[in-house]
Structure 1
């Protein structure tokens, strides 16, 4: 599987490190290992390096990485990883480039999800896309004019922290909602909903209304052409679709809401695909910055 432009992609999370390379839009040589999240920084760096080293025989030429938390894509510094306490300010790019002697691109994991879906899913037909991951928490990635919009330190799109009702959107749009309000997991409620349990169906409709309120605000903020829903809760979409659509139906600007496409992710490795795509995306961003610098320079 050797190729002159082969990219290795990693999705680093609080519980696992997933990785792979791509051919014909599919992730191959996929591997997964446990993240030693509670250990010191050196142990986590060793775990990441060990996973990368297992691919050296393939001759990859660059590495793309998605990781939760704040990221400086230019410098490759990772900040404030809530699920990995020892990763509070780590120059991951410099460390890996020195160790493996290849370029490394790093970005937030939710951004990688959105980019992977945009590059390899049906959302590629659109120019303005928002990806939402629904699981233990929620993450949001923004595609504007066909490219990632990340803001400073990849902090754009942190909608989970936005106040909503008595708490935040994360409290109502992630698995926290089901556990807090109904003392059950989304997975168990999904099984009950499949069996026609009316209480479970009502709970998911309520959940859909909350998620619809989030999307309502995303429409106001970004006016996307498409929304892509990912994460483990996406599998229950048939049960919360009605509540979501009823809420979006209240949006005042009908040419935007009535033409909105909502996709449920069918890609199992969106974040890895997005991490791989970071290398090409970073080349575009650097090229754009150089063009801007030249056009705005004084004669």
Structure 2
């Protein structure tokens, strides 16, 4: 049996089939997504991607928060994506549009971590951590492959972005936008993206390297108390800036690896979560 999965971001939706066991991923479509349109338009875009898949058994959907993953209600506001969905029951709307009863939603950062535990860099690790970094930061703490969101050993909800660092919201120091801002402040020039900063660092740009080292040192410092409290033995990094990992691996005090494919891991993790649910 293949599990049909949508992986949804602010600018794309990927429709894929995941085969349990070997965890092979077959991408059926990767389409652009205009996430700032009205709720009905967003629903139609997601439904169009979902219709490319066989939906007889239902559908797993990995997407970012803030979102009530149990009820399917979106709570995006001021995120630069899905703002028209605030308070909207996306689950019910998609169920009605597609004519299916079983929709299983999962946080994209948690899906990534579960995917990496299932078939990736932290496969089978008893206590591990997944961290995705893009426009924001996502985290998931796993004990034997299960997400832990409560207790004193993890940040509130298991989500590091809800904490502060150096007296400011964490993402002001650790995110793609924070890195781009720091580089612009240091050089007076704007970089197109973190990849370009990393490329510059590899060719000897000491300012670019310093900016990256500072950001990842901040990340390591912010993670350290939670890594220690939870007993994390290995961390996997994903998201748009994991490609800079080769430049900054020395920043971390416990074993860290970079994912081979953030999207593939999220698809696998969503499928694994669907099968458990």
**Normalization by structure 2: what TM-score?**
0.85
Deviation of 1:102 after TM superposition, in Å, equals 4.3
- Tell me, in whole angstroms, the C-alpha distance in 2 between the residues paired with 1:60 and 1:263: 37
Q: Which whole-Å deviations, capped at 9, do the CAs of 1:130-189 have from their partners, x for residues lacking one? A: 1101122111122123212345xxx72321231111422212221122222221442222
Give the paired residue count. Answer: 259
Among candidates 260, 266, 277, match of residue 266 of structure 1? 260
Which consecutive unaligned segments of at least 5 residues does structure 1 have?
Answer: 249-259, 283-299
Which consecutive unaligned segments of at least 5 residues does structure 2 have?
Answer: 151-155, 185-190
- Tell me, in whole angstroms, the C-alpha distance in 1 between the residues paired with 2:146 and 2:122: 12
Structure 1 counterpart of 2:90:
92
- Tell me, in whole angstroms, the C-alpha distance in 1 between the residues paired with 2:267 and 2:171: 24
Is 1:9 the counterpart of 2:5? The answer is yes
Q: Which whole-Å deviations, capped at 9, do the CAs of 1:229-283 have from their partners, x for residues lacking one? A: 00121111121122x13xx3xxxxxxxxxxx43121012412222222221232x
SS in 2 for 1:173: coil
RMSD of Structure 2 on Structure 1 (CA): 2.1
Q: Which whole-Å deviations, capped at 9, do the CAs of 1:82-125 have from their partners, x for residues lacking one? A: 21111112333333334332421102111111111111113122
Equivalent residues in 2 for 1:13-92, closer than 5 Å: 13-23=9-19, 24-56=22-54, 60-80=56-76, 82=79, 83-92=81-90
- Tell me, in whole angstroms, the C-alpha distance in 1 between the residues paired with 2:100 and 2:48: 15
Equivalent residues in 2 for 1:166-205, closer than 5 Å: 166-183=167-184, 184=191, 185-205=193-213
- Is contact 1:62-1:279 (8 Å) kept? no
- Tell me, in whole angstroms, the C-alpha distance in 2 between the residues paired with 1:93 and 1:113: 21
Deviates further, 7-16 or 94-103: 94-103
Structure 1 counterpart of 2:116:
117
Structure 2 counterpart of 1:252:
none
- Tell me, in whole angstroms, the C-alpha distance in 2 between the residues paired with 1:122 and 1:241: 15
Structure 2 counterpart of 1:135:
134
Structure 2 counterpart of 1:163:
164
**Normalization by structure 1: what TM-score?**
0.79
- Is contact 2:14-2:27 (8 Å) kept? no
